[in-house]
Structure 1
Amino acid sequence: MARFNYSYRSGEFAAAMAGNQDPIAFAGTAAITEAGNVAKTAGRRNIAAAGFSVRWQNALRLNIYPKGRTSIDAAALIFHKIPYAGVFEDNTLISGKPTLWLPLPTAPKRAGRQKMTPALYVRTIGPLVSIERPGKPPLLAGKIAINRRSKPGEDGRHKVTLSALRRGGKGAPSTLVPLFIGVDRVSIRDKLSIREIVQSAAGQLGALYFKNLRAN
């Protein structure tokens, strides 16, 4: 998600009103703050409606500049703390270099605070085995430890746990379990409308400015 800057500048009008700058600065800063909060609230609702977690919703932030004081040059910055959030703003095609490895449901979600990737798996858990499938996407499989007491489920698969994967990666008797699937590219459809929401909020600046100017 891109960052968006909106600033209200009174220009020549402010210069002509130099003797009355405090009310103008107050109104301008108040208008920017109100519009920014409208955008942030509506944006977080939009993120929630798209099915994203509370963490993703709260990662949409608002900063008002200059901080801690009023100014006729006040500006609002709406941004998302997750760097790649912008891919959900437009239809985005992500290509592998040459292969994009996507985690399967069997793959551990994280290693510490980092999201699991093949490189991170090898570094923190154990080796991965490449499985080529003619006419189908390739797989990367991990070694899961088994023993005489561990029996496969009704689907013929052993229960995948992080501890079993670590033991298998360290040389214990093991079997393979697919963890990642390789694709050439993946298409991510647009789910968010943050740009439109910010633009709509910015369109209210004039009315908000005069409202706060009259109230001062």
Structure 2
Amino acid sequence: MNRVKSLIRKPVTAAIVGAMAVAIPASLAVPTAPLAAQSGANQLDRATRALRAITTMRADFTQEDRQGNVVSGELTLKNPGKIRFEYSDDVNMLVVSNGSALSIIDYEVNQVERYPIGDSPLGALLDPDRDMRRYGTLQESRAGVVSIMVDDPDRPEFPAITLIFQENGAAPGGLQLVAWVALDSQNQRTTVRLRNHRYGMSVSDSEFRFRDPRRTSRRPG
């Protein structure tokens, strides 16, 4: 269980956003130099529109830390502001946002940690008021791949998150979020890769609530 907690627990801002699976293909590697400002502004707008165009989404995910520990599960997203990371059966934890706060529920020790969305790099995904032009920098735009780094220079305690999109005409806005990479101030990298995207299904708000383990030790079904 320690390997899971190293991925999911504190620091929450580094743990929830992950890195892609074992190797990031060269076409998805995070480069170091941003492109021209005008191109960057256009791609930031495209990425923002693509994220906001998602009404609901489900996708399978794998999450890996720098030591190579991997967990997997299903992500459910509902705009605005709701997300759920349902881990595989051997991981007795849950991560969920109800639109205002991100909760990390540990059913093994009956503990809940809660953070405002704005205190997580997931705010780049979940907060409709997050100004991508203020926080985002285009890192790559070629061969159908768009990479955008989102960070807040006024809050260095929060890691930078790089969102990686691929051109996909079937995805809302024509761009599909395929991965994101987070790097915290201690140089700890966490990576999440998404696959098997599904859009536009009916998702109940009840999926973004959880049974409080401080009142029962049973994991929700």
TM-score over 0.5 for the pair: no
| Structure number with higher strand proportion | 2
Structure number with greater Rg is 1
Q: TM-score, normalised by structure 2?
A: 0.19
Q: TM-score, normalised by structure 1?
A: 0.20
| Structure number with higher helix proportion | 1
